[in-house]
Amino acid sequence: MTINRRTLLARTAMLAGALALTKQNAIAKALNDTGLKDLYKDDFYIGTAIGNARLNSPPAGFNALVAREFNALTMENDMKWERIHPTPDQWAWERADKFMALGEQQQMFMVGHVLVWHSQTPDWVFNDDHGQPLPRKALLARMKTHIDTLAGRYRGRIHAWDVVNEAVDEDKGWRKSPWFNQIGPDFVEHAFRYARAAAPEAQLLYNDYNMHNPGKRQFVVDMIKRFKEAGVPIDGVGMQGHVGLAYPDIAEFEKSIKAFAATGVAVHITELDVDTLPVAWEHIGAEISSNFDYADELNPYPNGLPAEVEAQLAERYAEWFALFLKHRESIARVTLWGTGDSESWKNNFPVRGRTNYPLLFDRDYQRNAAYHAVAALKK
Q: What is the pLDDT of residues 305-321, one digit of tens each?
A: 999 999 999 999 999 99
Has residue 23 been placed in a domain? no
Q: Average of pLDDT values for 158-177?
A: 97
Above 90 in pLDDT, residue 270? yes
Percent of the chain with pLDDT over 70: 88
Has residue 182 been placed in a domain? yes
- Active-site annotation holds for 271: yes
Please tell me which residue in 69, 271, 310, 343 is annotated as part of the active site: 271
Q: Which residues of 243-262 are buried (b: 16+ CB within 10 A; e: fewer)?
A: bbbeebeeeebeebbebbbe
Q: Which residues neighbour 273 within 8 Å (Cβ) at sequence distance 6 or greater?
A: 241, 242, 243, 336, 337, 338, 344, 346, 358, 359
Give this prediction's pTM. 0.89
Has residue 230 been placed in a domain? yes
d(CA 96, CA 150): 10
Nearest to 285 by CA among 335, 324, 248: 248
Has residue 32 been placed in a domain? no
User: pLDDT tens across 82-132, in order?
Assistant: 999 999 999 999 999 999 999 999 999 999 999 999 999 999 999 999 999
Has residue 28 been placed in a domain? no
Above 50 in pLDDT, residue 283? no
CA–CA distances in Å: residue 178 to residues 33, 167, 354: 48, 11, 32
Has residue 346 been placed in a domain? yes
Has residue 15 been placed in a domain? no
pLDDT of residue 349: 86
Note down the domain range covering 185. Answer: 42-278+296-376
Question: Domains in the chain: how many in total?
Answer: 1
Based on its alpha-carbon atoms, the radius of gyration of the chain, rounded to whole angstroms, reads 24
Q: How confident is the model at residue 375 (pLDDT cuts 50, 70, 90)?
A: very high
Above 90 in pLDDT, residue 274? yes
Has residue 21 been placed in a domain? no
Above 60 in pLDDT, residue 71? yes
Q: Average of pLDDT values for 135-148?
A: 98
Dihedral, CA of residue 153, residue 139, residue 118 and residue 111, to nearest 10: -20
Above 70 in pLDDT, residue 265? yes
Q: Output the CA angle 337-341-347, nearest 5 degrees.
A: 85
> The CATH number of the domain where 62 resides is what?
3.20.20.80
Please tell me which residue in 166, 189, 310, 343 is annotated as part of the active site: 166
Above 80 in pLDDT, residue 176? yes
Q: How confident is the model at residue 238 (pLDDT cuts 50, 70, 90)?
A: very high
- Active-site annotation holds for 76: no
